Amino acid sequence: MFNKSIREILDDLAKGEYSSREITKSLLERIKALDPDLNSFITLTEENALASAEAADKARSGGEIGSLCGVPIAHKDIFCTQGVRTSCGSKMLDNFISPYDAHLVQSMAKAGVVSLGKTNMDEFAMGSSNETSFYGPVKNPWDTERVPGGSSGGSAAAVAARLVPGATATDTGGSIRQPASLCGVTGLKPTYGRVSRYGMIAFASSLDQAGPIARTAEDCALLLEAMAGFDSNDSTCIDRDVPQYSASLDNDISGLRIGLPKQYFNGDTNSEVGKLVDQALTALEQAGAKLIEVDLPHVELAIPTYYVVAPAECSTNLSRFDGVRYGHRCENPADLEDLYSRSRGEGFGDEVKRRILVGTYVLSAGFYDAYYRQAQKIRRLIQQDFVSAFDQVDLIASPSALSTAFKMGEKSGDPVEMYQEDLYTIPANLAGLPAMSVPCGLMNNLPVGMQFVGRHFEEGLMLNTAHQYQKRTNWHELSPEKFGGQG
């Protein structure tokens, strides 16, 4: 039962092969047996899960049901869940029980999903390896000495180990796509504004976007249909119809123009990764796509730009964690100053503190023009590069990550090296564009991912292309042997 996709689970539930309660129970048992090895969950919500599975079974036996009725999933612990701890991977929020549900949590509940719990993540979603979580690192199910990527490493590892068929995640600079790539699963970051950010703990508000991680493009389409849509509680959420992504997966892709940025195919990538991506592109060519070189002249500035903009926004967003209203508060503060500084000093980990310091610095009166304003200008140039490239092509392809999963501890001592992990993913966040990662091979038995970036709101075309690729290949079907797969 554990090896089923969301599509298959929906078909089985409809045919009565098993109930939502049965699959929910069996996945909960599987998580309890296997997750101690992975640490992909921070909180399991067993009782709530069984209650919603029973409600889903009852709903299915009569009347109208949601599109994902009875499907077990997990939520990244960045989404507020009413009555359940919402930690964001931080000691700061270890004691925080959210009084309300995030909009995404609510919409998915309306669609009928059964949430099994909250997945582990880098603290406040800052990281590329899941080593910064207060709850300990997540391990990569393909090799438990290696990282799963981050910050949505818990969601990606849980899907890869077949603990859940799908999970929610967030992506500010690559946190859906890079862990999806390193864990051999499919992940999609929607267009900025497609999914409400209400109740999603903010890291960098102009870049943050929620999306799905699942085994297949088809499952991502089904999850995205349930997540996306207008919400008046998020002023950046766009009021625009949500297409039925799952209905256009079988469209013919002949004539599709895929752009290959010359800056990305220049030998920087590990050459084995490059070879696997080339093979994947050949498969798409055989399906009728045309490959065209494109130029993104400013894309090389994406990482430094991001590491000015994201820390600036995070330093502002995280100022609310002051030990006064909620979250960690130090013992016996001497005065207000002491309360703030010790609560924050004790509650935040090193990476979060580093970002707050950088952010405060680049926003300070003396340096604002030199750093923050410059970064905003470059951000605009990067956006314009994509707009011009999309005059010539329909999608842009590249590797999702520089290489395969690296060893724990290998990069955690060198933040600048860690920041390079998001070389291919950050530009889409800066430009607000939708992007996804699809498994496209194995290298020394570790997964490699290919990335697609689309025009604003063209998630449908990306999912269609990814589905056509997955119909012709089986990389997305492989899973780590240690967790019952055939990888």
Catalytic residues: 76, 151, 175
Supply the minimum distance, in Å, between the C-beta of residue 189 and ligand GLN: 8
Total residues at interface with ligand GLN (CB under 6 A): 13
What CA–CA distance (Å, rounded) separates 406 from 429? Answer: 24
Query: Is residue 131 a contact partner of residue 147, using CB atoms and an 8 Å limit?
Result: yes
Supply the minimum distance, in Å, between the C-beta of residue 306 and ligand GLN: 7
The interface with ligand GLN within residues 126-165 (CB under 6 A) comprises: 126-128, 151
Q: Is 211 in the site for ligand GLN (CB under 6 A)?
A: no
Distance of alpha carbon 180 from the chain centroid = 7
Q: Is 72 in the site for ligand GLN (CB under 6 A)?
A: no
Of 365 and 416, which CB lies nearer to ligand GLN in the complex structure? 416
Segment lying near ligand GLN (by CB under 6 A), choices 5-13, 98-106, 124-132, 442-450: 124-132
Q: How many degrees, rounded to 5, is the angle at CA 13 between CA 8 and CA 19? A: 125
Segment lying near ligand GLN (by CB under 6 A), choices 13-21, 68-76, 171-179, 260-268: 171-179
Q: Is 263 in the site for ligand GLN (CB under 6 A)?
A: no
Query: Is residue 458 a contact partner of residue 434, using CB atoms and an 8 Å limit?
Result: yes
Going by C-beta distance under 8 Å and a sequence separation of 6 or more, which residues neighbour residue 300? Answer: 263
Phi then psi dihedrals of residue 472, to 5 deg: -100, -10
Supply the minimum distance, in Å, between the C-beta of residue 295 and ligand GLN: 25
Of 395 and 430, which CB lies nearer to ligand GLN in the complex structure? 430
What CA–CA distance (Å, rounded) separates 114 from 126? Answer: 27
Residue for token pair 């080339």: 278
What CA–CA distance (Å, rounded) separates 30 from 319? Answer: 39
Supply the minimum distance, in Å, between the C-beta of residue 69 and ligand GLN: 30
Residue for token pair 């999850």: 223
What CA–CA distance (Å, rounded) separates 315 from 292? Answer: 40
Distance in angstroms between the alpha carbons of the first and the last residue of the chain: 18
Q: How many degrees, rounded to 5, is the angle at CA 327 between CA 199 and CA 90? A: 75
Going by C-beta distance under 8 Å and a sequence separation of 6 or more, which residues neighbour residue 247? Answer: none
Q: Is 125 in the site for ligand GLN (CB under 6 A)?
A: yes
Given 19, 155, 175, 196, the residue binding ligand GLN (CB under 6 A): 175
Supply the minimum distance, in Å, between the C-beta of residue 174 and ligand GLN: 5
Of 38 and 310, which CB lies nearer to ligand GLN in the complex structure? 310
Supply the minimum distance, in Å, between the C-beta of residue 472 and ligand GLN: 30
Q: Is 35 in the site for ligand GLN (CB under 6 A)?
A: no
* Tokens found for residue 291: 């490959």
Supply the minimum distance, in Å, between the C-beta of residue 151 and ligand GLN: 4
Supply the minimum distance, in Å, between the C-beta of residue 251 and ligand GLN: 30
Segment lying near ligand GLN (by CB under 6 A), choices 11-19, 172-180, 247-255, 266-274: 172-180
What x/- string results for residues 176 through 205 when contact with ligand GLN is judged by CB under 6 A? ---------------------------x--
Of 173 and 487, which CB lies nearer to ligand GLN in the complex structure? 173
What CA–CA distance (Å, rounded) separates 455 from 387? Answer: 8
Q: Is 119 in the site for ligand GLN (CB under 6 A)?
A: no
Given 117, 165, 174, 434, the residue binding ligand GLN (CB under 6 A): 174
Query: Is residue 399 a contact partner of residue 451, using CB atoms and an 8 Å limit?
Result: yes
Going by C-beta distance under 8 Å and a sequence separation of 6 or more, which residues neighbour residue 402? Answer: 268, 269, 270, 273, 420, 421, 423, 424
Q: Is 123 in the site for ligand GLN (CB under 6 A)?
A: no
The interface with ligand GLN within residues 294-313 (CB under 6 A) comprises: 310
Of 311 and 480, which CB lies nearer to ligand GLN in the complex structure? 311
What CA–CA distance (Å, rounded) separates 192 from 171? Answer: 10
- Is the bond into 151 cis (omega within 30 degrees of 0)? yes
Segment lying near ligand GLN (by CB under 6 A), choices 120-128, 138-146, 270-278, 398-406: 120-128
Query: Is residue 347 a contact partner of residue 323, using CB atoms and an 8 Å limit?
Result: yes
Q: Is 108 in the site for ligand GLN (CB under 6 A)?
A: no
Supply the minimum distance, in Å, between the C-beta of residue 263 and ligand GLN: 20
* Tokens found for residue 440: 């496209």
Segment lying near ligand GLN (by CB under 6 A), choices 90-98, 125-133, 139-147, 445-453: 125-133
Distance of alpha carbon 65 from the chain centroid = 27
What CA–CA distance (Å, rounded) separates 439 from 473? Answer: 10
Segment lying near ligand GLN (by CB under 6 A), choices 16-24, 133-141, 168-176, 261-269: 168-176
Question: For binding to ligand GLN (CB under 6 A), which residues are involved?
Answer: 125-128, 151, 171-175, 203, 310, 422
